[in-house]
Structure 1
Amino acid sequence: MKFTKTVLVAVALSLPAGLALAGAHEEMTIVSWGGAYSKSQLKAYHEPYTAMTGVKIINDESSGTAVAKLRAMKEAGNLTWDLVDVEAGPAMQLCDEGLAMEIDHDSMLASAPDGTSASDDFGSFIVSPCFIPQIVYSYTVGFRNDMVGSTPPTSICAIFDTKAYPGKRSLKKGALSNMEWALLCDGVAKADIYPTLETEAGQDQALAKLDTIKDDVIWWSAGADTPQLLADGEVVMGSTFNGRLFALIEEDKQPVSMLWDAQIYDLDGWIIPTGLSPERQARVLDYVKFATDTQRLADQSKWISYGPTRASSAPLVDKHAELGIAMAPHMPTDPANSKNTFLMNYAFWADYKDDIESKFQAWLAK
């Protein structure tokens, strides 16, 4: 029998996730990032799936080099990975290069408990036909409670207000996030941010705004830098990933709070490599249907402060499995935290990143 994509989907999805294709391919190599993030996947997805099916899951922590390694595997004709966790930008790149399989989200993934289709449940987080959204994280800002006086900041523009909030700030040593925030705080409407950044004048406007605080900035390259600077009291506020700030606040008990205004969402999710055998592809599709259902995405939030990408998962977010604290207030996607957000404009940065980043680094070196 010739296995086509349609046949595979019909076979793999004719039974509930986790029950299909028993004995088909009893081992999978799943690629991710390691650390607390891989632990959250292990607890929420891998261990329950293995317990249900007997499938052994091998963890590989090579997501940071996924694009290059998948290219090399294709060239060598030796595909050793079954499923890969990547950020949305690289997922789009892998899709364009034919290294990631296109997904029919509604037929291959579970519907929400109320019958809402997967595509409607994930909504705008499906940024590529090959991308299966998993978590939302964000670039956001933390500040020292004991260094901001009696009026804690509520706006991202506090970064640029050195009169009200004197002291050093830490910002990423790169254009992304800084250019958006600079224009927003220079009076550009959010809807006009990216059209403005397409122009030389708009780029110059953003850099001119950043010039106003350049002498007050410590530039970071690693996500751990800002939490350390905040812990040491070397900066009054600084940008980093929301998960880093969560650890600083809740695990390390530092006097720090989160500023969620104008947080910039980024996404992580799965891609299925092209070129898997029919048996391997069917097993991966079965796993993915299970691992991205409403309950499983909510379960991941028990282990890490990244928001589930399904709308139906949000009400199920519960307490941290080890800390025992309610996790909803720590989610980028929680309604109280998401009143003013950006979803990273992947198409824009794919087209303009090289030019704008070169211009930003030249400005930084002046």
Structure 2
Amino acid sequence: MRKLHAIATATAMLALCTSGAATAQEKVLRVMNSGGSYGDSIEECVNKPLMEQAGIKVVQESPGGFAKLQAQGRSGVIANTTTDASTGELLRMVAADLVEPIDWEKLDPLPMFDEAKAEYGFGASFYSTIMAWDAEKEEPADWVAFFDTEANPGMRALPDYPDFVLPFAALGGGQSIESISEGVDLDLAFETLNRVKDDVVWWQSGAQPPQLLQDGEADYAIAWSGRVMGQEGVDHSFKDGMLDISWWVIAKGITDEEREMLYAWLKLQTDANVQKCLIEFLPYPGPSPDLADLVSEEQAKTFPTYSANKDVQWLVPGQWWFDNADEVERRWNEFKLSL
């Protein structure tokens, strides 16, 4: 009986040791993102292939963002290696010393658009803010015409977000395309908005602009490209639109092993075939110039990065927004109180 007990005890201890060794050898990468369809796309198109190819298990947490990255930085416990970030968030994270620069030589990506390779940011996807209108209306020639409610009467559906409406309002007031990529003339922007505010429907959800146009509640709109493409009764133009990038950043304080796994995860996202998988979930293309060759010409033409679209847009001046954030917020709040 004692012999049987000793064998059982030894077997249990061996199983425990074996389990511990397996756990120690398991490679786990922890990341944060905004969740929803985006998280689903990353899980299916990036995380699962990485597990199959490199044996790296990716654990996702959502949402991510500045506050969570700051909290783990202050605690000294770096639980997550990365988060997705807007251009504005990226600059805030850099200023707060929460992220580390990317070693692009070590990451060794497949071909990427140059603007997607920032010192502190990996450009994950591109999106545009553009002009849209009721297909039965005449296309405005430019943003001056868009905001000319006398020559082109009707309601305007405008984003209730300063960073998505003020640049176009400034263009509507006469600021040049050449200068808007350097910063926004706030005087022109608010002068334009005050002039048209009685003819505005403000929206907060990206699904609203096409619906407002289709329902006849608005005649013209500023909208996110992925929301109005292919919508019945809605026309659009990328001309003089605003091109922006969604980023991945690298949390400061991660280990060498975590960095190695994260670089493998990021490099996989430079594969045009992986990006093709991702756009099956959300219509925002990744940073590969080769992606357009893997889809139909019709689909490629919907991409903000399609050459004919990309060439007529301007890239958001992220540093200007960061430097002028306090003034923008103050003047925006004053304007909203006047409505």
Whether TM-score is above 0.5 comes out as: yes
Change (3 A) 1:154 1:37: farther
1:95·1:102 contact (CA, 8 Å) conserved in 2?
no
> Structure 1: how far apart are the matches of 2:291 and 2:110?
15
Question: 1:270-318 CA distances to partner (integer Å, 9 max, x unpaired)?
Answer: 11212222222221122212222344334433432213223x3343341
SS at match of 1:152: coil
SS at match of 2:191: helix
Question: 1:175-202 CA distances to partner (integer Å, 9 max, x unpaired)?
Answer: 32433223323333222336674xxxx4
Question: 1:171-226 CA distances to partner (integer Å, 9 max, x unpaired)?
Answer: 122332433223323333222336674xxxx4323222223321100112332332
> Structure 2: how far apart are the matches of 1:257 and 1:314?
25
Shift of 1:61: 2.0
1:136·1:309 contact (CA, 8 Å) conserved in 2?
yes
1:165·1:236 contact (CA, 8 Å) conserved in 2?
no
Q: Which residue of 2 aligns with 1:238?
A: 221
**1:123 pairs with 111, 114, 118, which one?**
114
1:139·1:239 contact (CA, 8 Å) conserved in 2?
yes
Question: 1:328-360 CA distances to partner (integer Å, 9 max, x unpaired)?
Answer: 121111122233212111111111122123213
Q: Which residue of 2 aligns with 1:152?
A: 139
Q: Quick check: 1:193 aligned with 2:172?
A: no
**1:334 pairs with 306, 309, 321, which one?**
306
Letter in structure 1 aligned against 2:199 = D
Q: Which residue of 2 aligns with 1:203?
A: 186
Shift of 1:108: 1.4
1:297·1:313 contact (CA, 8 Å) conserved in 2?
no
Q: Which residue of 1 aligns with 2:278?
A: 300
Q: Which residue of 1 aligns with 2:4?
A: none
**2:122 pairs with 121, 124, 132, which one?**
132
1:171·1:239 contact (CA, 8 Å) conserved in 2?
yes
> Structure 1: how far apart are the matches of 2:133 and 2:37?
23
Aligned-pair identity in percent equals 23
Change (3 A) 1:235 1:105: same
2:144·2:174 contact (CA, 8 Å) conserved in 1?
no
Shift of 1:164: 4.8
SS at match of 1:258: strand
1:317·1:327 contact (CA, 8 Å) conserved in 2?
no
Shift of 1:269: 1.8
**1:282 pairs with 239, 254, 260, which one?**
260
Shift of 1:135: 0.8
> Structure 1: how far apart are the matches of 2:54 and 2:181?
47
1:143·1:256 contact (CA, 8 Å) conserved in 2?
yes
> Structure 1: how far apart are the matches of 2:256 and 2:163?
40
> Structure 1: how far apart are the matches of 2:281 and 2:259?
28
Question: In the comparison of the two structures, how many residue pairs are matched?
Answer: 315
> Structure 1: how far apart are the matches of 2:80 and 2:277?
25
Gaps of 5+ in 2: 1-23
Shift of 1:154: 5.0
Larger Rg: 2
Q: Which residue of 2 aligns with 1:32?
A: 33
> Structure 2: how far apart are the matches of 1:353 and 1:72?
22
SS at match of 2:240: strand
SS at match of 1:213: helix
Letter in structure 2 aligned against 1:338 = K
Change (3 A) 1:326 1:133: same
Shift of 1:245: 2.1
Over aligned residue pairs, what C-alpha RMSD do you find? 2.5
> Structure 2: how far apart are the matches of 1:76 and 1:192?
42
Letter in structure 1 aligned against 2:28 = E
> Structure 1: how far apart are the matches of 2:127 and 2:97?
26
> Structure 1: how far apart are the matches of 2:202 and 2:135?
21
